[in-house]
Amino acid sequence: MFDSVARRYDRMNALASLGRERRWRQAVGQALAPRPGELVLDLAAGTGSSADALARSGAVVVGLDLSLGMLLEGRRRFPGLPLVQGDALKLPFPEGTFAAATICFGLRNVNDPVLALEELRRVVVPGGRLLICEFSRPTNPLLRLVYRRWIKSVLPLLAKLASTDPAAYVYLTESILEWPDQRTLARWVERAGWTGIEWRDLSGGIVALHRARRPD
């Protein structure tokens, strides 16, 4: 499915988010604060947009995704950016490889999110950082109502106009609406063995950043 939407995926995301996606990615970089020379894993990297943004800090960012179509589009757009095909539930890296890891708008597409979080903990060094950026639940009831109507009615229309595979956005819409709230995701992160868990809402809770560390 992601192979079929790869060519216009980033353009569609920009339209659907009314341009806010760029601000959300900037917030990821500020919260993770990668340092020059650090080795960082960007899981569910897609076309590499988030990995490229993080790499501008001077960190060495490796992007991993299951979709070969996404990765090929990323290699075309960001030549030289390390992009690897792999499974989030069985990462092809030794234990303690990375100083930090991120997953942006991809955890809800994994069959077993807790197992993916455990794998991320395995490949991050003790004391290493995790940053999750994912759609969440708006905290204001009125915003939540408007948001759900936007997702159900406007997003499919935008997909018909701008996507290479509008049918794929039926699943993407459902995955956003069915994703749990901020507190539930925090419990999943804790269950996966991370500590120091905290989160911050963006855009009124439409998106949330969850931050944690692998225990020393």
At residue 132, φ and ψ (nearest 5 deg) are: -110, 130
- Note the pLDDT of residue 61: 98
Each residue's pLDDT expressed in tens, for the chain with a length of 216 residues = 666 665 666 666 666 666 677 888 899 999 999 999 999 999 999 999 999 999 999 999 999 999 999 899 999 999 999 999 999 999 999 999 999 999 999 999 999 999 999 999 999 999 999 999 999 999 999 999 998 888 888 777 776 666 666 676 677 788 888 999 999 999 999 999 999 999 999 999 999 999 999 998
Long-range Cβ pairs for the range 108-116 (8 Å, 24+): 108/134, 108/135, 108/175, 108/176, 108/179, 109/44, 109/175, 110/44, 113/188, 114/188, 114/191, 114/192, 115/89, 115/192, 116/43, 116/88, 116/89
* Lateral strand order in the sheet of 124-135: 83-85, 60-65, 39-43, 98-104, 124-135, 207-213, 195-202
| CA 71/CA 47 separation, integer angstroms | 5
| CA 215/CA 195 separation, integer angstroms | 6
- Name, in order, each residue with C-beta under 8 angstroms of 149's C-beta and a sequence gap of 6 or more: none
- Note the pLDDT of residue 173: 80
**3 state SS of 31:** helix
| CA 138/CA 136 separation, integer angstroms | 7
CATH code of domain 2-213: 3.40.50.150
- Note the pLDDT of residue 59: 97
Q: Where are the domains of the chain?
A: 2-213
| CA 98/CA 125 separation, integer angstroms | 6
